[in-house]
Every structure is written in structure tokens, then in C-alpha cells.
Amino acid sequence: MPVETMQDHTKAPVTAGAFCHAEGGPPALHLVLWPNRSLPARGFAGFIALTCGLIALPLLGVLGTPVLWGLLPFFVLTVGGLWIALRRNYADGRLTEELHLWSDRVSLVRTEPRGARRAWEANPYWVRVALRAEGGPVENYLTLKGGGREVEIGAFLSPEERADLRELLERALSRV
């Protein structure tokens, strides 16, 4: 699952008191979520090279003829379009969601691929985790409700990963 959990296990997870988060103190839970990266940079180069090789095979039969010049622009458009589409996919993969959970507040910051940031905060006592198996935009639609708003979390995760994330969030919220 493309989720990184950062917790400080050197201290007790909860300090007693209604509002016990000391400003600047470490969160009880820090999650970073990002889309799955199924094609690494080395795989990208190999895929483009393999595609060029496979597309060039039929062109070997027309080498030295005027037909080659008629087919060559389509070859270049195909490989160029594939290159642009994969690069766009990489750019869109820079999306991240960062969740911090303290005893007195929870914050979720979503950083879009182009750098825009959207933030949400609420008191963890009032936050509810909702998982809609059906009826949402996607299967296992996961939201956090609190602070007068309902926000989606982990839209780019698989349905199974969203179900696992729900359990993790509910456990963490019940601890604080």
C-alpha cells in the first residue's frame, strides 16, 4: 500500500488531559499517502525502447523506399504520444495526502500535482470515519467527517487499501 506511517514509539501514545497537545509536539499518527507507481524510471526507458524496437520491425521491410517516409511520421507520432502520456502520468503521480493526528486536532493536507494545497482540520473527538462500500463515486469510498465538513481521503488507493486505511484511522482515533 502506498502509505507511510510515521509514529513515535518511544513514548506513551496518549497524554492525559482534554487538550494535551503541546504546540510543536510530535503527532500520535503521521500518515503520508500517494498514488501507486507501477512503472519506475528504469521501466519507463525500457518500455519506450521496446516500443520503438517493435514498431520499427515492420519498417525494416521498407527501408530505402519512399514508403518509409510516409510511415515515419506515424511512428514518431505514436512514440511521442506515448512519451507525453507517460510523462503526464508521472506528473499526476506527485499527488500526496498527509494526515497528522494529535490528541486535540487532526489535520489533512492534500497537495495537488501542480502544487496547490487544500487543508482540513477538526477535533478528533468529533471526527468520524465513513466507508461507503456502494453508492459512492468509487468502491469503498472513504471519508472523514468533522469540523462541519466531510472530506475524502485516499481516492487514489485501491478498494482493499481504503478498507485497511479505515481500520488504521479508526484505531488511531480511538486511542487519542
| Predicted model pTM | 0.73
- For domain 3-9+27-37+93-175, the question of CATH label 2.30.29.30 is answered with yes
Q: How far apart are the first and last CA of the chain?
A: 24
Check whether 21 has a pLDDT greater than 80. Answer: no
pLDDT tier for residue 11 given thresholds of 50, 70 and 90: low
Q: Three cell numbers at 137?
A: 463515486
What residue spans define the domains of the chain?
Answer: 3-9+27-37+93-175, 41-92
Question: How far apart are alpha carbons 73 and 94 in whole angstroms?
Answer: 32
- Using alpha carbons, list the distances in angstroms from residue 141 to 42, 120, 156: 33, 18, 10
pLDDT tens per residue across span 53-105:
999 998 999 999 999 999 999 999 999 999 999 999 888 888 999 999 999 99
Give the three-state DSSP class for 168.
helix
Check whether 126 has a pLDDT greater than 90. Answer: yes
